[in-house]
Amino acid sequence: MKPFNKGQKNDYNDAEAIAEAALQPNLRTVTEKSQDQLDLQALHRVRARLVSRRTATINQIRTFLIEQGITVRSGLRALRNSFETNLEQRRVEISPRMRSILIGLYGDWLWLDDRIPAVSKEIEEISRAEENCANIMSIPGIGPMISTAMVAAVGQGVTFDRGRDFAAWVGLVPRQFSTGGRTILGRITKRGSRYLRMLFVQAAKVIMMRPHRWQAFSFGAWLERAVSRMPRNKAAVALANKLARTAWSILRHGTRFDTIRDETMEAI
């Protein structure tokens, strides 16, 4: 109602703006979330915060080690395997206080490694018990994270009239700047849910890593043509758009994917 608010902010002007906004025929409203959706959304937010905190902790450990003249190759496993060895070999060079700081950060890292799988397991249990999540997981490359995040965000998907509207809300459609009858399309808009967009793009990249499985899916021929005519990252975004549309259709109509799901495909 903010565009319809005239004059200074007071109760009368706010009520008038609300009444005028409610009369607009193309007004898009937000559906109220159920308690189950709020709980599921909270789980995803907690997990995302823990993952971000673990990444920050690991980066801080690397930074402190570099300041002490210790470099470790990239990767969590390499840092975990060499951490205690480096502290022992450089015992003389590293001060006791810095050693205590590093050990404390390493303890935080181990705690996060235990906490994140616990939250992920709870999300997976919900995905198996929820029928809508199970239907969405029948799509190749889509697992508990995407299915539960989507149900938590849009419920039954009734807010959107078609799959393209949902893909546009996720931010996976081209940005349009058209005028004078000339259509100009650019990069994706990146509007809406950044979290869902990230998950769909990751799912698309997982599928693209296994081209020998493409023919098992109904979109396999389309994906082969897309990869042959456009850069790989662009094709991944296009596939993410298709996955988002398919997921909305399955969620809205309560059906399952029409081809056999690859049981060996890593799902997100």
DSSP string of the chain, one letter each residue: -GGG--SS--HHHHHHHHHHHHT-TT---PPPPPHHHHHHHHHHHHHHHHHHHHHHHHHHHHHHHHHTT----SSHHHHHHHHHHHHHHTTTTS-HHHHHHHHHHHHHHHHHHHHHHHHHHHHHHHHHH-HHHHHHTTSTT--HHHHHHHHHHHTTSTT-SSHHHHHHHHT-SEEE--BTTB--EEEE---S-HHHHHHHHHHHHHHHT-GGGGGGSTTHHHHHHHHHHS-HHHHHHHHHHHHHHHHHHHHHHT---SS---TTS---
186 burial class (0-12, 13-18, 19+ CB within 10 angstroms)? exposed
Q: What does the pLDDT read at residue 92?
A: 85
Lowest mean pLDDT among 11-15, 25-29, 63-67, 111-115: 25-29
104-114: pLDDT as tens digits: 999 999 999 99
Examine the pLDDT at 197 and tell me if it is beyond 90: yes
Q: Please report where in the chains the tokens 């994140």 appear, as a residue.
A: 116
Sign of CA dihedral 217, 221, 224, 229: negative
Q: What does the pLDDT read at residue 107?
A: 97
Task: State the CB neighbour count (10 A cutoff) for residue 121.
Answer: 11
Which of 64-78, 112-126, 181-195, 204-218 is modeled with the greatest confidence? 112-126
Radius of gyration of the chain (CA): 24
pTM summary value? 0.84
Q: CA 246, CA 155: separation in Å to the nearest integer?
A: 15
For 80, the token pair is 């975990």
Domain ranges in the chain are 1-30, 35-129, 131-268
Q: Letter for the amino acid at 131?
A: E
66-124: pLDDT as tens digits: 999 998 988 889 999 999 999 998 888 899 999 999 999 999 999 999 999 999 999 99
Q: What does the pLDDT read at residue 192?
A: 86
**Backbone φ, ψ for residue 26 (5° rounding):** -100, 20
Q: Please report where in the chains the tokens 């997976």 appear, as a residue.
A: 124
In the structure, what pLDDT confidence band is assigned to residue 267 with cuts at 50, 70 and 90?
Answer: low
Nearest to 17 by CA among 5, 25, 29: 5
Q: CA 89, CA 37: separation in Å to the nearest integer?
A: 51
Q: What's the whole-number mean pLDDT along residues 177-202?
A: 89
Q: What does the pLDDT read at residue 47?
A: 97
